[in-house]
Chain A
Amino acid sequence: MDSILSVQHVTKSYTGHVALDDVSLEVPRGSVYGLLGPNGAGKTTLIRVINRITLADKGLVMLDGKEITVDDIFHIGYMPEERGLYKKMRVGEQAIFFARLKGLDKRDAEKRLRHWFERLGISDWWGRKVEDLSKGMAQKVQFISTVLHEPKLLIFDEPFSGFDPINANLLKEEILGLRDRGATIIFSTHNMASVEEICDHITLINKSRNILSGSVEEIRRAAGGNTFEITHRASHEAFAEAVGKLANVIGESRGVVGGYTATKINIPRNEDIREVVARLNDRCELRAMQEMMPSMNDIFIRAVNGTLK
């Protein structure tokens, strides 16, 4: 795997508690990488370590195979969770200031900004003071400031907090668009719906440790563990009898449109799925069979509770 960023055995402790305990992860180039975890798990600390806003007690952060330097940091795009804008400045001037600080020249910055402002529908905020903006509005401005210089690595801390569903959707589209243009995006969140929709890879941090890492699809499949929903003509009892010891029936059946019944089963790994299918097909007039992938929300809760196998 070609990873753009690699975090290796990072440990960071504050007075009285450990914020990150031996955390390692690899961020594949060109991916959207989600850092998940409950509040206080250490997501923001990890981001601050990656950014070198704070230093790890132990461990390394590598960018493109070399230890990350302050100069690298100056070129990445970073959006902190609490919005970092000068309150007394006007929106447009402020955006130009940050853009020039990131190395764009004034005319180029203004051109790009006008484009982005139009795109996010905030052109008429150009001359307003930041202190007059709502949280979501300020966040849009901050988002533009973060991505304007087209960095190859973008880090967002809780980018969706403070947004209504419409704007959250808009932001998702923009994040995917940035990925399609070649950027790698790391963001932290506890909004699981956004994870399923846009993340390629995730790391789940709980109580300062990395408890789950990998591609979203693999994680969901692994957590799914051979659970299927089968639609058939038989009654719940008849179906259970037909399945016998080949699989475990989960919960009650439910009726579905067209007089069919839907029942969930879990097939132990040592059993052959084809045998189960053949048997059910004989006895229950099998109509459909679908693998049940758990939602990231389920996985999140199960992983945090420690019930994920």
Chain B
Amino acid sequence: MKKIYLIVAREFMERARKKSFIVTTLLMPLFMIGMMVAPSLMMLYGGSEQKQVVVIDKSGIVAERMVSSEEVVFSAQNNLTKEEACQIYNTESGVFGILYINEDVKQSGNVQFITNSSSSLMLEELIQSQLKNIIEREKLKERYNIDNLDQMLADVATPIVLNTFENNGTGNEDEMESTSAGINYILGIVLGMLLYMVIIIYGQMVLTSVVEEKSSRVIDVMVTSCSPFQLMMGKILGIATVALTQIAIWAVLVIAASKFLIPALFSADVAATSDMMLQGVIGTLGDTGYITMLFAYLAMFILGGFLLYASLYAAAGSAVDSVQDGQQFNTIIMMPIILAMIVMMSVFNDPNSPIAFWASMIPFTSPIVMIARIPFGIPTWEIIVSLAVLYFSFVLTTWLSAKIYRIGIFMHGKRPSWSELGRWIKMK
């Protein structure tokens, strides 16, 4: 244990002191804060200027009812023909486009939108829904002779709020935990992506570290001073410590910045939106005790997932002679993660399906799939079994990578026979 600790400390110090580590640790939060602020800034300042759309309404029912908004202004020019309009409102006119409505629009439903520059999906949807609304109402009025239709519709308009609870047998809504698929969905995807990124960034580091050590003769000294398992475990845990430190610093900096820096620099609006993004997730989840437990589980799964994949990278590093050769394993190692992401999507449809269950038990997919399932509320024994399997697999893979590492050194310049392999595996 002491030797593992020494190796962990060495790996950590070597990495944490590098200039590149300090630079990325400080720059990353800037980038993340930028990502948080950018959407709100875009909403406030960046929103594209108001588009002007000329409406030529030959049916006489549409033009006056088109509603202008911040994005688009409709102006009626019903007397022009399509050709005239196209000549007048050309590219230089500053008009975005011409909406041409036939006389028989009520029957055919066909409308032409002629634009001077490429149209946008948002604008098209806006026009479509307005027209649909107008024409359907017009038809209702006409065919069923309803005069005060608008008033009636306004009268019955009802926004629906769907409150989802987990059944705990009591039926008392104060006691039941609320389970919102929407928030779970976002949380699952965010954490899954986080794990994926952590594995890519730091997993690579494990592979490089193992390969580099093999290519220098430090290996001779290390092999005669500690067991390969201690070496592998030390490397993996050392880099995990680096990762945890870096992520912790990032988290502290980002939270501090979103609390103090952003309100100071930007107007209240921006601050509120970016703060909302952070608070929104936590707020919707429920009471603090539940959140603490939830995040404790999530942390354990993310850590376990990282350790397992790091040990796979260690095994890959042990099996190859250069970092380039090691890259080939990248795709193979990443495969289960991508599979897990796909399964995660199906979890949102049915968190208790057999595939969701088994994928959250198999260690290669369990971190991501379980992260997505936990917020739905699943039995504690499932979580415990899954965690146990995950951490056991990590130790097993590390042991295996130590064996591969040792055999790689023994093999140096020789293809081993099966009996030799057997002897090496048995060797301590």
Q: Give the number of chain B interface residues (Cβ < 8 Å).
A: 31
Which of A75-83, A198-206, A207-215, A285-293 lies on the face that meets chain B?
A75-83
CB distance from B398 to the nearest CB of A (A): 18
Contact B428 A74 (CB under 8 A): no
Verify A70–B227 contact, CB threshold 8 A: yes
Whole-angstrom distance between the alpha carbons of A57 and B222 in the complex?
23
The chain B residues found within 8 Å of chain A, CB to CB, are 2-3, 6-7, 10, 13-14, 18, 216-227, 409-410, 412-415, 420, 423-424, 427-428
- Given contact pairs A54-B409, A54-B412, A78-B221, a sample of 5 additional A-B residue pairs in the complex whose CB atoms are under 8 Å apart: A55-B420, A55-B423, A84-B217, A85-B218, A98-B221
A86 engages B413 (CB within 8 Å): no
Cβ contact within 8 Å between B219 and A55:
no
Given contacts A15-B414, A53-B224, A84-B218, contact A70 B409 (CB under 8 A): no
Q: At the interface, yes or no: A66 with Cβ under 8 Å from chain B? A: no
List of B residues within 8 angstroms of A54 by Cβ: 409-410, 412
Q: Is the CB of A73 within 8 A of B224?
A: yes
For B6, what are the chain A residues with a Cβ–Cβ distance below 8 Å? 97, 100-101
A284 to B424, CA, bound (A): 70
- Pick the residue among B220, B226, B413 that contacts A53 (CB under 8 A): B220
**Bound CA–CA A34/B320 (angstroms):** 35
- Cβ of A80 and Cβ of B225 under 8 Å apart? no
Q: How many residues on the A side are at the interface (Cβ–Cβ under 8 A)?
A: 33
Tell me whether chain A's interface is mostly helix, strand or loop, or mixed.
Answer: loop
CA A76 to CA B225, docked complex, whole Å: 9
Give the most central of B412, B414, B427: most A CB within 10 Å: B414
- Please, which residues of chain B bring their CB within 8 A of the CB of A14? 413-414
Docked CA distance A17–B2 (Å): 41
Q: Are B223 and A53 in contact (CB under 8 A)?
A: yes
In the complex, A51→B10 CA distance in Å? 24
Q: Which of the residues B10, B224, B423, B428 comes within 8 Å of A97, measured between beta carbons?
A: B10
Q: Does A87 contact B (CB under 8 A)?
A: yes
The distance in angstroms between the C-alpha atoms of A101 and B224, with both chains bound, is 10
Q: Which residues of A pack against B, CB within 8 Å? A: 13-15, 48, 51-55, 57, 69-70, 73-74, 76, 78, 80-89, 93, 97-98, 100-102, 145
Contact B10 A84 (CB under 8 A): no
Q: Provide the residues of chain A in CB contact with B10, threshold 8 Å.
A: 86, 89, 97
> Are A88's CB and B227's CB within 8 A?
no
**Distance between A150 CB and nearest chain B CB, rounded to angstroms:** 15
A78–B217 Cα distance when bound, in Å, is 12
Known: A70-B428, A101-B3. A86 touches B14 (CB 8 A): yes
> How far is B224's CA from A48's CA once the two chains are assembled, in angstroms?
10
Tell me which residues across on chain B come within 8 A of A74, comparing CB atoms: 224-226
Q: Which of B13, B219, B225 contacts A101 (CB 8 A)?
A: B225
Closest to A105 in B: B2
Is A84 in contact with B3, judged by CB distance below 8 angstroms? Answer: no
A82 to B223, CA, bound (A): 15
From residue B12, how far is it (CB to closest CB) to chain A in Å? 12
Known contacts A54-B410, A55-B410, A97-B6; is-contact A88 B220 (Cβ 8 Å): no
**Closest Cβ–Cβ distance, residue B78 to chain A (whole Å):** 77
Q: Which of A54, A76, A145 has the most CB of B within 10 A?
A: A54
Q: Which residues of B have CB within 8 Å of A73? A: 224
| Complex Cα spacing A15 to B413, Å | 7
Q: Which residue of A lies closest to B2 (CB)?
A: A100
Contact of A80 among B221, B227, B415, B424 (CB under 8 A): B221
What's the minimum C-beta distance from A148 to chain B, rounded to whole angstroms? 12
Closest chain B residue to A57 by CB distance? B420
